[in-house]
Amino acid sequence: MTRTRLRWACALALLSVVLVIVFSGRDGAARPEHLSAEALKTASPTPRPTAKPTLAPTPLATPAPTPAPTPEPPPPPPSPPSAPEPEPVAASGPAPLPGTGPNYFVDDVNGNDGNPGTSEAAAWRSLDRATDFTIPPGARLLFRRGGVWSGTLKVEESGAGGLPVVIGSYGSGPPPAIQGANDCILLSGSGIVVAQMQLQDCWSGVRIQGGAAFNRVQDSVIAGNVAGVLVSDGASDNAIVGNTFQNNNKMSVNTPGGYDDSGAFGVLLNGDRNEVAYNHISGSVAFSYDYGQDGAAVEIYKGQGNSVHHNTAVDNQTFTELGDARTAENTFAYNLVLSSLADSTFLVTRGGADGHGPVANTRVFNNTVVMTGPGSEGFVCHGGCNGSVLT
């Protein structure tokens, strides 16, 4: 996304924003199926997790008080807390797949596209054969764990009658990987669930096309893409829940001059009323000729009414950036944002004097932000902020 580097740090005492920020630099499990922006207003805060750098949870010790017979001088004030690495959401193992069957199988080693695909022993082999198959509502298209495919899986079918079309995995071992294409998975239907996959080294791990709705990407590992998940303009009411996004650090545009560099997105939302929740997003940062570094855990451009909540974000260049005058009514709540990068920002938005603004009525509350780099910034607003831009 283009943006002028002249920043006005909104030292907003921000109205209804409840935000905990610790800087050492500049001032400046059952999950719910869906939480709307309105529901978030009354949700209870989630306790902040504490974890070891090895991603294993660390319980907080509570020492018993020791009485002192005589007064003692108070201890020196503690140093600002460091940014621990929390446990990835998807690390606890895959949840059961939805759908009722029948099941269809794809095996990159022992499969054959001449097979019926109806059992592990008679699996198909290629993404092309899987794409050509018309998946009925309720059916599951399952890829062998440990398998690797290069290319794009295209899913045009839609669920119906409460029965989704399901893309998932079978067997044991690491998640099945799809890699090395423009889009690892391209969804143009609605009512599709993508789960238990590894989607890597594509332009987008999952692209949800305009017009597609009520799709769900869950319990997957999405790494090394320009955008981990792209929700296109015109796509709506999709959910991106419980995934691990790692090092989606490729740039789409990266040229000297022009301030047009963009890329390194965990999630890029161009559509409306989508939910991004309970994900672990890390490493969305890349070199930029125009900005020095670029990237965002969640970027919203033209999207309206999106809910971004209960995510853990670690070492991303920006947690979220918003742009375009159409962008409005987006909510960020109960997220844990940690960064040890030298230059990192929690939120970037735009007012009416910016060419990509104003971005209206962004709501931010009950987030916990710990950034320890010397160039850390909390809120940045280009083109003038007021209560109609950010609350």
Cα separation of 30 and 96, whole Å?
A: 12
CB 317 within 8 A of CB 282: no
Whole-number pLDDT of residue 36: 52
DSSP annotation of 128: H
Predicted confidence band at 30 (pLDDT cuts at 50, 70, 90)?
A: very low
Whole-number pLDDT of residue 172: 96
Cα separation of 5 and 378, whole Å?
A: 15
Condensed to tens digits (0 to 9), the pLDDT of residues 128-146 reads 999 999 999 999 999 999 9
Condensed to tens digits (0 to 9), the pLDDT of residues 295-346 reads 999 999 999 999 999 999 999 999 999 999 999 999 999 999 999 999 999 9
Whole-number pLDDT of residue 391: 86
Predicted confidence band at 201 (pLDDT cuts at 50, 70, 90)?
A: very high
Q: Does a structural domain hold residue 290? A: yes
Cα separation of 272 and 292, whole Å?
A: 30
137-163 as b/e, with b when 16 or more CB fall inside 10 Å? bbbbbbbbbbbbbebbbbbebbbeeee
The domain of 205 spans 8-28+147-382
CB atoms within 10 A of CB 171: 14
Tokens of 24: 């050492």
Tokens of 358: 């104003």
Q: Does a structural domain hold residue 99? A: no
Output helix, strand, coil percentages for the chain, rounded to the nearest 5: 5, 35, 60
Number of independent structural domains in the chain: 1
Cα separation of 349 and 25, whole Å?
A: 21
Whole-number pLDDT of residue 84: 41
Mean pLDDT along residues 73-79: 43
Task: Please name which of 121, 111, 260, 130 lies closest in space to residue 186, comparing C-alpha atoms.
Answer: 130
Kindly report the backbone phi and psi dihedral angles of residue 39, in degrees, each rounded to the nearest multiple of 5, phi listed first.
Answer: -65, -30
Mean pLDDT of the chain: 83
Q: Is the pLDDT of residue 4 over 60?
A: no
Predicted confidence band at 94 (pLDDT cuts at 50, 70, 90)?
A: low
Mean pLDDT along residues 204-233: 99
Look-up: residue for tokens 């305009």? 210
Q: Does a structural domain hold residue 332? A: yes
Q: Does a structural domain hold residue 198? A: yes
Kindly report the backbone phi and psi dihedral angles of residue 180, in degrees, each rounded to the nearest multiple of 5, phi listed first.
Answer: 70, 35
Q: Is the pLDDT of residue 16 over 90?
A: no
Distance in angstroms between the alpha carbons of the first and the last residue of the chain? 23
Cα separation of 141 and 167, whole Å?
A: 5
CB atoms within 10 A of CB 203: 16
Condensed to tens digits (0 to 9), the pLDDT of residues 335-374 reads 999 999 999 999 999 998 888 889 999 999 999 999 999 9
Q: Does a structural domain hold residue 83? A: no
Q: Is the pLDDT of residue 102 over 50?
A: yes
Look-up: residue for tokens 């007012």? 351
Q: What angle do CA 120, 131, 94 make, to 5 degrees?
A: 55
Phi/psi-derived region of residue 110, left when phi > 0, alpha when psi is between -120 and 50, beta in every other case: alpha
Residue 355 is which amino acid?
A: G
Q: Does a structural domain hold residue 106? A: no
Condensed to tens digits (0 to 9), the pLDDT of residues 239-287 reads 999 999 999 999 888 788 887 778 899 999 999 999 999 999 999 998 7
What stretches of the chain show up as alpha helix (H) in DSSP?
Answer: 37-41, 127-132
Tokens of 244: 């691990």
Distances (CA, A) of 62 to 65, 66, 73, 363: 9, 12, 22, 35
Q: Does a structural domain hold residue 23? A: yes
